[in-house]
Amino acid sequence: MDDFYLSVGDVVSFSKTVGESDVYQFAGTTGDLAPVHVNQARMEKSAYGQRIAHGALMVGFMSTTSSMMVERSRDGHGKGETPVSLGYDRVRFLGPVFFGDTVTVNYAITAIDEVKRRSTADIAVVNQRGETVAIATHILKWVKNKGGR
């Protein structure tokens, strides 16, 4: 597997404290203004007792780690290939992320398919209490450039 850009066991991590501005900017960008994210008074009466961040925002943080892995890879963007995301499988939101929580996204390469030019990674998002709040599997594909350059 020395010809590939990544190896099984390669890991990157990203940490961020989720602020109110992160959630409101994401809500504004996506149009997802669901009360669970933006209505404090309503959420105070809920089982959660407060607003929660969008699960899709956590997927955005997963994308950050994917980009970090590409930058860390041998030869960066490849010898005549461009790495692109094929998608996130088995995405699950296991717990809420509250405003002020610090999440750490761990991205670990679990498989390499040199023939299909793909890498697979397991992703776990963990909060400051050590609780796993989201998981997914990610696939990166390395696509040949025009003319092989």
State pLDDT tens for residues 12-34.
Answer: 999 999 999 999 999 999 999 99
pLDDT, residue 75, reads 67
State pLDDT tens for residues 109-146.
Answer: 999 999 999 999 999 999 999 999 999 999 999 998 88
Give the whole-angstrom CA distance, residue 115 versus residue 143: 12
pLDDT, residue 4, reads 84
Give the whole-angstrom CA distance, residue 97 versus residue 92: 13
Could you please state the CATH topology (level 3) that the domain comprising 11-18+53-148 is classified under: Thiol Ester Dehydrase; Chain A (3.10.129)
State pLDDT tens for residues 43-83.
Answer: 999 999 999 999 999 999 999 999 999 998 876 555 788 99
State pLDDT tens for residues 53-62.
Answer: 999 999 999 9
3-state secondary structure the chain: CCCCCCCCCCEEEEEEECCHHHHHHHHHHHCCCCHHHHCHHHHHCCCCCCCECCHHHHHHHHHHHHHHHHHHCCCCCCCCEEEEEEEEEEEEECCCCECCCEEEEEEEEEEEECCCCEEEEEEEEEECCCCEEEEEEEEEEEEECHHHC
pLDDT, residue 15, reads 98
Locate 108 and state its tokens.
Answer: 């670990």
Q: What is the residue extent of each domain of the chain?
A: 11-18+53-148
- pTM, full prediction: 0.92
pLDDT, residue 1, reads 41
